[in-house]
A and B are shown apart, each in its own frame.
Chain A
Amino acid sequence: MLSGFISSIFGGITYGLILSLMAAGLSLIYGIMKNVNTSHGAFYVIGGFLAYLFYALHLPLIGNFILVVLSSFFIGIGALYLVIPKKLWVTLDPDEQNIVMIAFLALATVTEYILLLIFGGASVSIPSIFYGNVRILGNVYLTAQVTFSSFLSLAVFILLYLFLYKTKFGKGMRAYSQNRELALAVGINELTIVIFTFGLGVSLAALSGSLLGSIFSINSASGWDELVIAFVIVTFGGIGNIFGSLIGGLVFGLVYSIVLYYYPSYAFVAVLLIIYLILLIKPSGILGKVYERV
């Protein structure tokens, strides 16, 4: 009984770590572009299916994931150019934000049906890289694939931190999100930053799709739930801030897997409701004011 509880905690942490990658992507895009990327779930699914395709190449270790990240980076930028008019990329006007959200929603629908036509409606599971179990303590085991995935996502998070806080480009991104006019005045290139951020954001979603796709499974319509989850995590942790999404992701994963252990069918609904209640009490998110944005 107790070991079941403990393993659900470990399961929650790993699940949360992987999910928070995706949420961080959504959060980054919102922080820079001030637009909610409603096609984020679609890129999650694209990442899953790309990993499924690239698996046939039998690349060593993380080569598969690097390919997924790179290709979804370019797919994302291409989609941005095709779908959204350039003047709406960065906007603060609510009407224009709405138009962008509708356009991204249309993009997500298009992606869903393209994937449905290519891969069919059945769920696909990406083959694992590692097989076997890792013993944590006592009777608690994690599969090797889950352990690997959570360490990989932790590593990506650390890289993301180093990139945003230690490199010049990352500092430029943060500056841009904090004060657009001033950032433009000191010569930060807006176009590069916006394009790069969108590519980075969607490739984080794709990475998390390719990781979760081998733990669970993936089908053309599974992006909508993931979009909802990512949004919930991001709002919970405070939008536009990557640590918020890390902590939000962990909370989501923990609550989800603990509820899942006791009331399996209502887990998803229960988590959404709990977080909705928290948001009613504190709309800016748990870390809304504590951390600086992006």
Chain B
Amino acid sequence: MSAFKKLAKAGSKLLNKNDQYSIAGILAMGLAFLVIYFLLRGYAAYILMSMIAYILFAVSWGLLYNLSGQLSLGQAMPFGLGGFISAIVFVVFHLNPFLCTFIGALGGAGVGGSIGVSTIRLKPAYQGIALLVFSQIFYWLFLFWYGEEGISFGIYHGIIITSISQIFYFGVIILIISLLFLYFFEVSKLGLKFKAIKGDPVAAEAIGIPVIKYKIIIFYISSFFAALGGTFYVLYTFHVDFSIFSVSYSFFSIAMCVVGGPSLFGTLSGAVLLEFLTQALPVYIPLAITYLLYGIITILILRFAPGGIESLIKRLLK
């Protein structure tokens, strides 16, 4: 018992109050996912898994934009690349699907990150569209290579490769690990340096931060999480096709971040909220109207509450 107390004491020295709350929050969220899964199963599991994929996706965009000030209008590129690479690796080599997920994430990070890095020296306005250009290029390439039907891979020799619950636990684990990593990345000294870069690149360069090097690092990290989201998205649907590169997907990640707010938890809440709406609203109204609402909500938030839901809540609490 005393050993445990010592450990807790050491922990509280290492982590300040904010850290403790945040870690507790992330773990509580994972726990909530599990509880909902045990209570409801069925379609709820599907909604939760799509939430996991979109949280990773949205967080990856937020990482790029909120930490280093780089705008990507083609975040669907690493997302889709990760998905396609994992599916291709599985179809060709028949490895363990969870291993394929990591290969896909690394591959997506490598390719997507490298393409992103080639745009770093462009002006912000150009950079966003240059990435949009690349996501469109992959949209067409994968349409030619794999056709409209894409790749479906859930069944191998007549047997479903994994069970839904395995995928779900796997998803919750990667979500918690990713969020913890991102949280500590954001509050670390490195994260502060990134915030300096976002605030004023010239001043950051002047105090000795190698801006270009850091922008390259963040591009690879962001692409990794986008690709991880993409591979998980592909893993639970057992299917991937060219439409994963469409601009709508890029827009989802942006909308979730903008609606949620700039911090990690803002983005998280935005992703959970919008993904829940995407799954729940089509029961009552057509899907097209749901996407229409997305756009309208994003415009309204940008005009009237640029800090997102996060700032609205803070305003209410005051």
Min C-beta distance of B58 to chain A, whole Å: 13
| Inter-subunit contact A269/B137 (CB<8 Å) | yes
- On whether the beta carbons of A105 and B73 are closer than 8 Å, the reply is yes
**Count the A-B residue pairs with Cβ separation under 8 angstroms: how many?**
111
Interface residue ranges of B125-139 to A (CB < 8 Å)? 125-126, 128-130, 132-133, 136-137
User: Given A95, A102, A116, which contacts B258 in the complex, CB threshold below 8 Å?
Assistant: A102
> How far, in whole Å, are A97 and B129 apart by their CA atoms in the complex?
12
Q: How far is the CA of A101 from the CA of B121 in the complex (A)?
A: 19
Which of B125, B130, B132, B302 sits near A97, CB closer than 8 Å? B125
In the complex, which of the residues B291, B294, B295, B296 has the most CB atoms of chain A within 10 Å of its own CB atom? Answer: B295
- Contact B65 A235, beta carbon cutoff 8 Å: no
Given the complex, which residues of A lie within 8 Å of B65, measured CB to CB? 98
Is B229 engaged at the interface, CB distance under 8 Å to the other chain?
no
| Chain B residue nearest to A231 in the complex (CB) | B129
Return the chain A residue nearest B255 by Cβ: A106
Chain B residues whose CB sits within 8 angstroms of the CB of A235 once the complex forms:
126
Query: Which residues of A sit under 8 angstroms from B73, Cβ to Cβ?
Result: 38, 101, 105
Check if A83 is an interface residue, CB within 8 A of chain B.
yes
Judged by a CB distance under 8 angstroms, whether A53 is at the interface is no
A138 at the interface (CB under 8 A from B): no
Q: Given the complex, which residues of B lie within 8 Å of A51, measured CB to CB?
A: none
A-contact bits for B102-128, CB 8 A (1 contact / 0 none): 000000000000000010011111101
Chain B 293-318: CB-based contact to A (< 8 A → 1; otherwise 0): 01110110011001000000000000
Cross-chain contact A117 with B251 (CB below 8 angstroms): no
Return the CB mask of A256-274 against B: 1 if under 8 Å, else 0.
0000000001101100110
Q: Are B299 and A110 in contact (CB under 8 A)?
A: yes
For residue A159, CB closer than 8 A to chain B, the reply is no
Chain A nearest CB, measured from B267 CB (Å): 14
Residues on B with C-beta less than 8 A from A231 are: 129, 132-133
Which chain B residues lie closer than 8 Å to A232 at the CB level?
133
Q: Does B286 contact A (CB under 8 A)?
A: yes
The answer to whether A94 touches B292 (Cβ under 8 A) is: no
The residue that B140 contacts in the complex, of A101, A114, A269, with Cβ under 8 A, is: A269
Q: Is the CB of A228 within 8 A of B136?
A: yes
The majority secondary structure among interface residues of chain A is helix
State how many residues of chain B have any CB contact under 8 Å with chain A. 41
The contact string, 1 if C-beta is below 8 Å from chain B, for chain A 77-118, is: 000001101000000001101110111011101100110110
B-facing mask of A212-235, CB < 8 A → 1, else 0?
000000000100110110011001
Instruction: Say yes or no for B141: interface residue by CB 8 A criterion.
Output: yes
Contact A109 B248 (CB under 8 A): yes
CB A205 to nearest CB in B, in angstroms, measures 15
B228 sits at the interface (CB 8 A): no
List residues of chain B with CB within 8 A of the CB of A105: 73, 247, 251, 254
Q: Is the CB of A106 within 8 A of B295?
A: yes
Q: B137 and A272: CB pair below 8 A? A: yes
Cα A114 to Cα B293 with chains together (Å): 10
**A84 (CB) vs chain B CBs: closest residue:** B303
Q: Which residue of A lies closest to B303 (CB)?
A: A85
A116 → chain B, closest Cβ, in Å?
Answer: 5
Q: Which residues of A contact B (CB under 8 A)?
A: 30, 35-36, 38, 82-83, 85, 94-95, 97-99, 101-103, 105-107, 109-110, 113-114, 116-117, 221, 224-225, 227-228, 231-232, 235, 265-266, 268-269, 272-273, 276, 280, 283
26 contacts between A and B (CB under 8 A): A30-B125, A35-B125, A38-B73, A83-B303, A94-B124, A97-B125, A98-B71, A99-B306, A103-B303, A105-B247, A105-B254, A106-B294, A110-B296, A113-B291, A117-B288, A117-B289, A224-B136, A224-B246, A227-B129, A227-B132, A228-B136, A231-B129, A232-B133, A265-B144, A272-B137, A273-B137
